[in-house]
């Protein structure tokens, strides 16, 4: 089995600050692997281990996204590819999916692609479905359990808003992972030592056979505002009886209860 | 937010950065959420032996932290000695008890076996310790002998192919959890320091008994206790080094243990600083965040100065270890400075937090209590001060050792 995992490097959420000129303050950002992608990596590793398979991680991003790829390698992935090109700076989810689909076709012999259900920075949730469309493969979104993965088929549970669904699909397929699909492992210290010096191949747009014209629309962010600060809490004083009474009353008033 | 660990590229590389992230992730996910509860539990007089630490130590072993700087052929992860500092910084940034494990298990015990042990001893003891399958402790201090090591009373008498060990060690970290003890005792009391010998003693040997100490000011989430040896028969094969080398072994072990303590204290200063910066932005008095007041700024600035000087002193000591250069002077300087300043940083962190800092709802009072021990153990503040002057006045110098701590050699560590 050859699994590809799509990994996006995103800012850790509480590390993002917006500058007065509406830019993201890059100095304070702590870059991490998108939370949902960590589950995707772990799931791919577990199934690859069972079948003696291969895991390749792909990231589309700036050069420093190699940090996330190296972490995935230290977790146990076999290969990594960075897709980085100045022309991709403002690419949206659709364009990104098109480029990654081309990269996956270039790799060839891929049986399954795992990605997170969405990224914690842009939160569009479009990447996985769009990738499946560009590859022409079935998609299994919001997967919270993989029951079975064979050379030709997969059985998963999908967590939908008000239903749980068990679905079977043929391969190749695109799977998007939700939180708690598994427990992502820590990088291995031995592998950290190996991968820290390992060069990671970088592909530009032309390496995957695309040009700027193929990307479709680009996205420009016209305004950025930080979320309003949370109003400060209210302390309820008195003995336990009084406190509980006052608390319940407030919860009823605010229609929580 | 400033990354306090950035811009140390002249000592650290990408490997260390990945190691740091992994250890931080572990400590923040698997220990930080429970530490307040464990620390509170440890304050009670029937706290037991900190059993909650057993799975934590096991996990640290599986992840390779406990053998971080041990060569791969001995079960370690093969990082250099700076890697050990990084692990200690990140562990103590969350809680001192985590770093104490590295200090006694890795710094004081495993590295001593690595430096002084024969091949058989390394296979039998170092390998399972580096993998974290067995836990190790270091027994030097006795009820009547701490700083004055020569005042110890434990004895080991050779009888055929065994030594018979008798004595009591106290204030031993991990006493109740450890499988292996590095013990120093007199084989010839008349020769004073030259009459001491080191032994590897297993808990399973008959006559080894341990009891936890309760009522500690700090490191409450961890285990500290006494170890009594009553006619324990220790095979000659378990003598570490030669007869009479025990004092040297104990002191070189401290060169490594103190390095872990200093690095950990650096992590504690960082934790105190981070907590203080956060609070300084949140808390308002007289209509402005308290961080706007100059006297608060001064406390923050001092923490920063001491964080960075401690870190640099530690990395220099680690760099010397990597080169295979003796570093007692540099290591004790780092240990003295970092531990004293970690106490001061925690103290100021409480000040910045006002009354809230006086409560265990915030972590800073725990930092203060935890930092205090390191000003005493592995050589008191006074001992480190004396050492500095002794070196400067040429009253102390290095004598060649039969076994030096091997310089870091990447190829050899990867074998
Ligand atoms: C939490 C904790 C964990 C510990 N873990 C271990 C462990 O794992 N293994 C182990 O072997 N020990 C351990 N110890 C013991 C520790 O190493 C000793 O407490 C330390 O060496 C000091 O010895 P002491 O307590 O007997 O103090 P003493 O030696 O009695 O010293 C008392 C005071 O006198 C001062 N003093 C002594 N001699 C001089 C001098 N010549 N000049 C100036 N001042 C002097 C000291 O600085 C100190 O202030 C631990 C201690 C603590 C608190």
Cβ atoms of B213 and B162 within 8 Å: the answer is: no
Q: A24 - beta bridge partners?
A: A18
Percent of chain A's residues with pLDDT above 90:
70
> B373: Cβ below 6 Å to ligand 1?
yes
Higher pLDDT, A102 or A28: A102
Q: What is the pLDDT of residue B390?
A: 97
- Pocket test of ligand 1: the residue of B50, B135, B147, B176 to mutate, having most ligand atoms within 8 Å of its CB, is B147
Q: What tokens were used for A240?
A: 């336990």
Cβ atoms of A75 and A184 within 8 Å: the answer is: yes
Phi then psi for residue A206, to 5 deg, are -70, -25
Give the whole-angstrom CA distance, residue B374 versus residue B364. 16
Where in the sequence of chain B do the CATH 1.20.140.10 domains occur? 252-414
Lowest mean pLDDT among A89-103, A137-151, B355-369: A89-103
CATH superfamily of A2-215: HUPs (3.40.50.620)
Which CATH architecture fits B252-414? Answer: Up-down Bundle (1.20)
Q: What tokens were used for A132?
A: 């499946």
> Would the ipTM clear 0.85, i.e. be above it?
yes
Give SS3 for B399.
coil
Query: Of B13, B21, B284, which to mutate for an interface test with A (greatest number of A Cβ within 10 Å)?
Result: B21
Give the whole-angstrom CA distance, residue A225 versus residue A229. 11
First to last CA, chain A: 51
Give the whole-angstrom CA distance, residue A108 versus residue A106. 5
The distance of A233 to chain B (nearest Cα, Å) reads: 13
* Residues of B annotated as catalytic (active site), given as ranges: 378
Cβ atoms of B59 and B232 within 8 Å: the answer is: no
User: Is B21 within 8 Å of A71 when comparing Cβ atoms?
Assistant: yes
Q: Is B21's Cβ below 8 Å from some Cβ in A?
A: yes
> B141: Cβ below 6 Å to ligand 1?
yes
- pLDDT tens-digit profile of A50-75? 999 999 999 999 999 999 999 999 99
3-state secondary structure A101-136: HHHHHHHCCCCEEEEECCCCCCCCCCHHHHHHHHHC
Stretch A150-156: mean pLDDT: 96
Give the whole-angstrom CA distance, residue B79 versus residue B321. 12
Where in the sequence of chain B do the CATH 1.10.540.10 domains occur? 14-135
Q: A162 CA distance to ligand 1 centroid (A)? A: 63
Cβ atoms of B92 and B268 within 8 Å: the answer is: yes
* pLDDT-derived band at A91, boundaries 50, 70, 90: confident
Higher pLDDT, A25 or B167: B167
CATH code that applies to domain B137-246? 2.40.110.10
The DSSP secondary-structure symbol of A162 reads: S
Residue extents of the structural domains in chain A: 2-215
Cβ atoms of A24 and A164 within 8 Å: the answer is: no
pLDDT tops 80 at residue A219 = no
pLDDT tops 80 at residue A239 = yes
Q: B377 CA distance to ligand 1 centroid (A)? A: 5
Phi then psi for residue B8, to 5 deg, are -115, 30
> B175: Cβ below 6 Å to ligand 1?
no
CATH top-level class of B14-135: mainly alpha
Where in the sequence of chain B do the CATH 2.40.110.10 domains occur? 137-246
- pLDDT tens-digit profile of B314-334? 999 999 999 999 999 999 999
Per-residue pLDDT of chain B (415 residues; tens, 9 = 90+): 899 999 999 999 999 999 999 999 999 999 999 999 999 999 988 888 999 999 999 999 999 999 999 999 999 999 999 999 999 999 999 999 999 999 999 999 999 999 999 999 999 999 999 999 999 999 999 999 999 999 999 999 999 999 999 999 999 999 999 999 999 999 999 999 999 999 999 999 999 999 999 999 999 999 999 999 999 999 999 999 999 999 999 999 999 999 999 999 999 999 999 999 999 999 999 999 999 999 999 999 999 999 999 999 999 999 999 999 999 999 999 999 999 999 999 999 999 999 999 999 999 999 999 999 999 999 999 999 999 999 999 999 999 999 999 999 999 999 9
The distance of B12 to chain A (nearest Cα, Å) reads: 12
Cβ atoms of A35 and A85 within 8 Å: the answer is: no
pLDDT tops 80 at residue A240 = yes
> B164: Cβ below 6 Å to ligand 1?
no
B283, closest residue in chain A (CA to CA): A232
């Amino acid at each position: 089995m050859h699994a590809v995992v799509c990994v996006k490097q995103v800012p850790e959420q509480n590390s993002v600050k917006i500058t007065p000129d509406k830019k993201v303050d890059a100095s304070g950002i702590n870059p991490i692997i998108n939370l949902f992608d960590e589950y995707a990596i772990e799931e791919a590793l577990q199934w690859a281990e069972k079948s003696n398979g291969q895991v390749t991680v792909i990231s589309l991003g700036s050069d420093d996204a190699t940090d996330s790829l190296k972490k995935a390698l230290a977790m146990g992935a076999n290969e990594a590819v960075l897709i980085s090109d100045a022309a991709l700076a403002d690419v949206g989810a659709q364009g990104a999916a098109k480029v990654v689909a081309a990269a996956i076709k270039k790799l060839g012999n891929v049986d399954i692609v795992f990605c997170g259900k969405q990224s914690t920075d842009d939160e569009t949730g479009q990447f996985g479905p769009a990738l499946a469309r560009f590859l022409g493969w079935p998609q299994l979104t919001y997967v919270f359990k993989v029951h079975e993965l064979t050379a030709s088929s997969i059985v998963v549970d999908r967590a939908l808003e008000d239903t749980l669904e068990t679905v079977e699909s043929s391969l190749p397929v695109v799977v998007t992972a939700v939180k708690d699909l598994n427990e992502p492992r820590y990088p291995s210290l031995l592998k950290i030592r190996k991968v820290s010096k390992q060069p990671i191949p970088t592909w530009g747009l032309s390496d995957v056979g695309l040009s700027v014209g193929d990307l479709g629309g680009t996205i420009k962010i016209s305004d950025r505002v930080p979320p309003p600060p949370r109003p400060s809490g209210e302390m309820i004083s008195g003995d336990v009886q009084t406190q509980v009474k006052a608390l319940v009353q407030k919860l009823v008033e605010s229609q929580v209860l | 937010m400033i990354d306090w660990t950035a811009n140390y590229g002249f000592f650290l590389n990408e490997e260390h950065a990945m190691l740091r992230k992994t250890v931080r992730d572990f400590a923040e996910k698997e220990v930080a959420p429970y530490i307040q509860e464990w620390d509170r539990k440890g304050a009670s007089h029937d706290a037991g032996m900190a059993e909650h630490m057993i799975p934590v130590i096991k996990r640290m072993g599986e992840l390779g932290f406990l053998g971080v700087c041990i060569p791969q052929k001995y079960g370690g992860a093969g990082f250099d000695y700076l890697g050990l500092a990084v692990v200690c910084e990140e562990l103590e940034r969350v809680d001192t008890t985590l770093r104490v494990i590295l200090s006694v298990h890795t710094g004081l015990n495993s590295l001593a076996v690595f430096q002084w042990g024969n091949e058989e001893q390394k296979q039998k003891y170092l390998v399972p310790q580096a993998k974290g399958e067995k836990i190790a402790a270091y027994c030097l201090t006795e009820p009547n002998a701490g700083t004055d090591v020569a005042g110890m009373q434990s004895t080991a008498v050779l009888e055929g192919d065994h030594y018979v060990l008798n004595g009591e060690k106290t204030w031993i970290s991990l006493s109740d959890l450890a499988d292996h003890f590095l013990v120093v005792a007199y084989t010839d009391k008349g020769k004073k320091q030259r009459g001491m010998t080191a032994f590897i003693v297993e808990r399973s040997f008959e006559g080894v008994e341990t009891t936890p100490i309760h009522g500690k000011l700090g490191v409450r989430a961890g285990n500290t206790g006494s170890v009594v040896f009553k006619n324990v028969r220790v095979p000659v094969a378990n003598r570490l080094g030669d007869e009479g080398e025990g004092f040297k072994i104990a002191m070189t072990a401290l060169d490594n243990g103190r390095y872990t303590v200093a690095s950990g204290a650096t992590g504690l200063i960082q934790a105190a600083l981070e907590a203080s910066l956060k609070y300084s932005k949140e808390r308002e008095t007289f209509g402005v965040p308290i961080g706007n007041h100059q006297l608060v700024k001064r406390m923050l600035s001092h923490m920063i100065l001491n964080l960075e000087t401690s870190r640099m002193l530690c990395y220099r000591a680690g760099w010397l270890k990597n080169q295979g250069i003796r570093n007692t002077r540099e290591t004790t300087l780092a240990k003295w400075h970092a531990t004293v300043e970690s106490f001061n940083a925690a103290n100021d962190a409480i000040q910045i937090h006002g009354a809230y800092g006086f409560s265990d709802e915030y972590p800073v009072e725990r930092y203060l209590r935890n930092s205090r021990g390191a000003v005493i153990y592995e050589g008191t503040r006074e001992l480190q001060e004396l050492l500095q002057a002794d070196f400067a006045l040429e009253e102390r110098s290095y004598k060649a050792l039969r076994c030096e701590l091997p310089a870091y050699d990447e190829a050899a560590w990867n074998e």
